[in-house]
Chains A and B, each alone.
Chain A
Amino acid sequence: QKEVEQNSGPLSVPEGAIASLNCTYSDRGSQSFFWYRQYSGKSPELIMFIYSNGDKEDGRFTAQLNKASQYVSLLIRDSQPSDSATYLCAVSPGGYNKLIFGAGTRLAVHP
Chain B
Amino acid sequence: DVKVTQSSRYLVKRTGEKVFLECVQDMDHENMFWYRQDPGLGLRLIYFSYDVKMKEKGDIPEGYSVSREKKERFSLILESASTNQTSMYLCASIPYGGSYEQYFGPGTRLTVT
Instruction: Please give the residue numbers on chain A whose beta carbons come within 8 Å of chain B beta carbons, in ascending order.
Output: 4, 8, 32, 34, 42-46, 49, 88, 92, 96-104
Known: A43-B106, A98-B45, A98-B48. A103 touches B101 (CB 8 A): no
Contact yes or no, B100 A44, CB < 8 A = no
Which 9 pairs between the two chains have the least Cβ-Cβ distance? A103-B42, A43-B104, A101-B43, A101-B42, A46-B101, A97-B94, A97-B31, A32-B100, A43-B107
Contacts of B102 in A (CB 8 A): 46, 97, 99
CB nearest neighbor in B for A43: B104
Instruction: Please give the residue numbers on chain B whose beta carbons come within 8 Å of chain A beta carbons, in ascending order.
Output: 31, 33, 35, 40-45, 48, 50, 56, 58, 90, 94, 96, 98-102, 104-107
CA distance A33 to B89 in the complex (A): 23
